[in-house]
Structure 1
Amino acid sequence: MHSVKVSRLDLKAMTHEIGGIGQYPIGRSELTANGLHLARAMPGHPTIAAQEAHLLPALDLVVTHFTPRPGCAAHSQFYIDVAAMEVGPQVWTVRDLYLDVVIEPGGTPRLIDADEYVEAVLEGHLSQGEQRRALLSAERVVNGLFTHGNSLQDWLASLGIHLDWWTPLPGPALHSSS
């Protein structure tokens, strides 16, 4: 089992460093009322051209929309990482807590990587606080989606959060209402 993936987002240098993987330029970033909104290219990825993400520290979530390369199908509407964040004036540090929720192209959400989470717990990669935080955040997402007809926007709107997207998202139900 791999250790916790730690990302570092430097808003002054406009870089996204993923521990053990590499450093990538951030194309655009903006602080929002609920966190950080950013976009970057995905160089070298075989099927994904770019990602656009909202970091929501109060919910321990990173909500990402991936733009597929031409001729490639989207693998998800949204990919939601459960993550702990340290927010600084210039640098945001994101610790991936293993559990993820994928909202498939048809709108069905799936909790994934529970096997990785269990292995990480057994191998001591997460503190007890992080274990609790990850489970509660994943539960909040799954129950929120279920309660709001699997609509990410409706669930987040019920919490007073409205996500704007720079990249046009397919389908009218996927656009933010703000």
Structure 2
Amino acid sequence: MAALHPPKHETFDPTAKTNTDPKGFVRQVETYRTTDFGLYMDRFADHREFDRLQSWLLPAFGLRVSIFHYRPGHERDQRLYLDIGEFTGPDTDGRWHSEDWYLDLIDRPGRGLELEDVDELFDAHAAGLLPREPAEAAVHIATRTMVGAAAHGNDVQAWLASEGAALTWDLR
């Protein structure tokens, strides 16, 4: 069981080319790209398990879709990692913001999306850290995403493209 914590917030600043993580660490971003459906970010990571992070913030879908580039010895069989929450931007200063609503989906080759951290969502709601409306929205977003991906051969990117959000990734 994960430690109980409030929703995690993150800031994405394309003008300054920075990403401020939930702990307040500011990291330089190599690439930001804005489209009519979201914000793409590509940055180096100083994490012991991965050295690069690529993400799409998709406000209309309530999703952050990420590719983690794992270091040797830490590889995982996941293609994509999807955070569920509220993603907004740009604000009047050009920044984008995220609030993570605990639930995550893991996209692994040859399988349907796997839902994780249901316990965290319920614990946070029970502790008053996440009101009922966003908790319910998180479940609806996860369900819609899982059903959409399943209808497209368990391909979440094909589903997103069919909904007008064709994700492109910088090759590394």
Q: Same fold (TM over 0.5)?
A: yes
- In structure 2, distance between residues paired with 1:24 and 1:106: 34
Within 5 Å, give how 1:36-75 maps onto structure 2: 36-43=39-46, 45-75=47-77
5+ long unaligned stretches in structure 1:
169-178
Moved over 3 A (4+): 105-108
- In structure 1, distance between residues paired with 2:136 and 2:123: 15
Q: Is the 8 A contact 2:84 2:102 kept in 1?
A: yes
Please report the TM-score for the alignment, with normalisation by the length of structure 1.
Answer: 0.87
Q: Is the 8 A contact 2:112 2:146 kept in 1?
A: no
Structure 1 position 74, deviation (Å)? 3.2
The secondary structure found in structure 2 opposite 1:141 is helix
Within 5 Å, give how 1:34-113 maps onto structure 2: 34-43=37-46, 45-87=47-89, 88-89=91-92, 90-113=94-117
Instruction: Give the AA of the match of 2:79.
Output: Q
Structure 1 position 159, deviation (Å)? 0.9
Structure 1 position 91, deviation (Å)? 0.9
Please report the TM-score for the alignment, with normalisation by the length of structure 2.
Answer: 0.90
Structure 1 position 20, deviation (Å)? 2.1
Instruction: Give the AA of the match of 1:10.
Output: D
Structure 1 position 86, deviation (Å)? 2.5
1:13 correspondence with 2:19: no
The secondary structure found in structure 2 opposite 1:131 is helix
5+ long unaligned stretches in structure 2:
none
Cα distance 1:107–1:47, how it changes in 2: closer, same or farther (>3 A)?
farther
The secondary structure found in structure 2 opposite 1:165 is coil
- In structure 1, distance between residues paired with 2:96 and 2:58: 11
- In structure 1, distance between residues paired with 2:49 and 2:112: 21
Which one of the candidate residues 123, 126, 131 is aligned to 1:122?
126
Equivalent residues, number: 167
Structure 1 position 122, deviation (Å)? 0.4
Which one of the candidate residues 126, 129, 151 is aligned to 2:155?
151
Aligned residues: percent identity?
31
